Amino acid sequence: MNRPADQWYGDDSGPLVRLYALTKGRARPAGEFLDVIALVCGTTDPDNDLTLSPEQATLLTLCRDSLLSVAELCARANLPLNVTRVLLADLQRGGHVRIVRPGQPGRIRDDHILREVLDGLRAL
């Protein structure tokens, strides 16, 4: 596979689309920060909405039948994290997805759980 040195892309590299074109020039999503462990559930059918971009339709199709984390959506859609965050924020604003954010880490109130963990570690 000999290619000239100045040819930096080819048929194997896939489509060449700048990331800012997918997000309409935005680098950050509007609204609250979207954590990678936040769960996303699709609420509408992407086939019925012609205003969605192909990437938004892909994200919506992936999370239509089950809750998926933002990280898993990135991997399955083959999109960078920030692009996925911007697209999901747009989908949420349009009422296409429901996002369940993780709760704040709390203090474990049951000492029994901590004792079981400690006993388990000692048993190793």
For the stretch 31-72, pLDDT in tens is 777 888 899 999 888 887 888 888 889 999 999 888 999 999
Whether 117 is in a domain gets the answer no
CA 94, CA 91: separation in Å to the nearest integer?
A: 5
Residue 115 lies in a domain: no
Residue 7, domain member (yes or no):
no
Q: Which helix (H) or strand (E) holds 73?
A: helix 70-77
Tens digit of each residue's pLDDT (9 = 90 or more) over 98-107: 998 876 666 5
Is 27 contained in some domain? yes
For 23, the domain range is 18-105
Does residue 85 sit within a domain?
Answer: yes
* Residue 38 placed within a domain: yes
pLDDT tier at 16, thresholds 50, 70, 90 = low
CATH of the domain at 95: 1.10.10
- Number of structural domains the chain divides into: 1
In a domain, 123, yes or no: no
